[in-house]
Amino acid sequence: MATFLYKLGRLSFRRRHLVALIWVALLTLAGVGAASAPAAGNSSFSIPGTEAQKAFDLLEQRFPGTSADGATARVVFKAPSGEKMTDPGNKATVQDTVKELSDGSEVVRVTDPYQAKAVSKDGTIAYAQVSYKVSGMELDDAAKDALEDSAQDARKAGLTVEIGGDALQAVPHTGSSEVIGIAVAAVVLVITFGSLVAAGLPLLTALIGVGIGVSAITGLASALDLGTTTSTLAMMIGLAVGIDYALFIVSRYRAELAEGREREEAAGRAVGTAGSAVVFAGLTVVIALVGLSVVNIPMLTKMGIAAAGTVAIAVLIALTMVPALLGYAGRRVKPMGEKGKLLGRTSKQKPERPNLGTRWASFVVRRPLAVLLLGVIGLGAAAVPATSLELGLPDDGSQPTSTTQRRAYDLLSEGFGPGFNGPLMVVVDAKGSDDPKAVFAETGDAIKGLKDVVTVTPAQPNKAGDTATITVIPGSKPSSVTTENLVHGIRDAGADIKADTDANVLVTGSTAMNIDVSEKLNDALVPYLVLVVGLAFLLLIVVFRSILVPLKAALGFLLSVMAALGAVVAVFQWGWLSGLMGVEQTGPVMSMMPIFMVGVVFGLAMDYEVFLVTRMREAYVHGEKPAQAVVTGFRHGARVVTAAAVIMMAVFAGFIGSSESMVKMIGFGLAIAVFFDAFIVRMAIVPAVLALLGRKAWWLPKWLDRALPNVDVEGEGLRTRTDRGDEDRELVRA
């Protein structure tokens, strides 16, 4: 592989005009496709195999035209102090609002609070529910404007009016912090390279790669039913790995220049050596992201595949466009150790002066056991909060208090109780029963006898009379463990009813769907972990030709991901530093966070493992002792890996400013995971373990050594090729 990539790097350097033209053409084509593609709606949130999804599908069949999965809005009214919602003036205002809301072309129905008995016991709060034909992201702007205008008219009459539900669902924005993250990355690159030109190359290529990836996702969003979060995730990961991969190529290029090689030869060798690490690091990320499909949640599968595609583009750009741009840069990219005028140094550093990476590695090699114990204990302490992890999906209660959705949520809790924000819909399928009406009544009575039930509405049968819906209002908030227990209690009661009457009782609604998603993700976590870690373990055996090094990499990853989950629980569930992170409402951790972090963090963790340890193996293969190889790997790679980690943390941290709680949590979780993995696991635990193992670290059974393909990540073939070329040149001179 190293020889092939070496030739690719030289070709890209030499034919830089063609390579640059191809990538610019791809960017233009993707941009035109994104601009001309129809606007994408909200990705359909179907969860195959869950009871909540089966109930939704049954409602579509038995209650045609009701749009069970359509958007809803709750317009919540509160009377001025000292007044009641039943006062004639306030009642007239509400009824005028209901009439105005009913005129929308996408509106299915609007409930009148006074007819539906949707007025609180103290008479101060009432609400009207608006049901739409389409989902919140598919609603026309005119429908959303009409909803807000109606509320504003009621406010002018003196009422407090807020709007909850998903009808006003908006595209999440990240704010200025994302730009700050990119700016931090730029500063780190300038410090690392000491040159604006060298620092600009990774940023430019990463932006081009992300531009192509996100534009392609935007262009295909409508056809493939991709949600807005899909492009956000692709941008987050694509930008981080794109900068890192280009950073490693440019750094190795400068190291080759420092050894006296010509620029084209240096570009070829940089792609042949560091490029090999980029390929395998990219493969681990792609495996982790594509592996999300085993969870069998379509939205998560699409997010993973789209992000994996962006990572693949980042790898291809690093292997081709980076050497092409190095050809354009010429002498403006200085050899390693030689700084540009930007930092005020033009002479090479003294070679005998060890850098920080060398000094740190030497310290770890001298005291490996102490460093190992300190790192493991520290990560273990950070992981302690993960033992109290509670999972759920965000609702309006997790929105900032500045939003009308959150204020509507709080008003409903005040007037009707916390469980009113998460009603459960029970669907009774009595088609196979002899007396459907009796089954409906029996189901309602059974639910009334359960704990934490506040209200059970009378059964509402369909026209055929064989299926009915029953609305259940819990006493606890939607994301509570008590509500989850109630859902399981209703399903247990439904199993008894089925045994007696042969009728199916299904629980659905957004709250039940969230519970089913959490359980599905929990059940899939172990199989996913085995699949992803197993495939990557086999891949790393091929890369490092060792059993213990990949095993150590996997165990180190588990430490870092558990510590990161502990930090997420501490901030988003316990509320530590929540004000600093912009978390206004603590609650359960997003249910897809553990499996998502396992996938993404594992791929990123293997990036640093591959980049750092391949340099150590390269030194070991070329004759250095194990301890000295560790120091050599750090001398060449620690500075670059540190810069890459800081850049990735900055990019991920930029998404903490997002208005979407899911994106905010993902940004924080990935940023802290990169910190733990890069600076504690890879920079401390890894060298300590390798120093303790010595030559055993690189042990591989002979039969397996013969069976494995030789991918030559260390570039041994390039060294042989160069040595042979040097001998030929000496003969010519003689």
Tell me the residue ranges of DSSP E strands in 411-501: 424-429, 453-456, 460-461, 467-474
CB 575 within 8 A of CB 586: yes
The pLDDT value recorded for residue 714 is 59
pLDDT of residue 729: 43
**Angstrom distance (rounded) from CA 153 to CA 145:** 12
Are 392 and 514 in contact, with CB atoms under 8 Å apart? yes
Model pLDDT, residue 492 = 92
Residue 726 has a CB neighbour count (10 Å cut-off) of 10
Greater pLDDT, 369 or 715:
369
For residue 217, give the nearest of 30, 353, 387, 384 by alpha carbon.
Answer: 30
What is the rounded distance in angstroms from the CA atom of residue 108 to the CA atom of residue 167?
13
pLDDT value for 176: 54
Contact call for residues 342 and 197 (beta carbons, < 8 A): no
SS3 content of the chain, % helix, strand, coil (to 5): 70, 5, 25
The per-residue pLDDT of the chain, averaged, comes to: 83
pLDDT band at 732 (very low <50, low <70, confident <90, very high): very low
Q: What pLDDT score was predicted for residue 490? A: 93
pLDDT in tens, 670-708: 899 989 998 999 899 999 999 999 889 888 888 888 888
Determine the average pLDDT of the residues in 175-196: 74
pLDDT in tens, 620-658: 877 888 889 999 888 877 888 888 888 888 878 877 877
What is the share, in percent, of the chain residues with pLDDT greater than 90?
23
- 233: exposed, middle or buried (C-beta count within 10 Å: 0-12, 13-18, 19+)? buried
- For 565-603, write each residue's pLDDT tens digit: 999 999 888 888 877 777 766 777 887 788 878 877 777
Which tens digits make up the pLDDT trace of 99-133?
Answer: 988 887 778 888 889 888 888 989 999 999 888 87
More confident call, 503 vs 348: 503
CA distances from 149 to 101, 146, 162 (A): 10, 5, 12
Per-residue pLDDT band for 1 (boundaries 50, 70, 90) equals: confident
Instruction: Report pLDDT digits (tens) over 40-53.
Output: 554 555 677 788 88
If you average pLDDT over residues 515-534, what whole number do you get? 83
Q: Is the confidence at residue 339, as pLDDT, over 80?
A: no
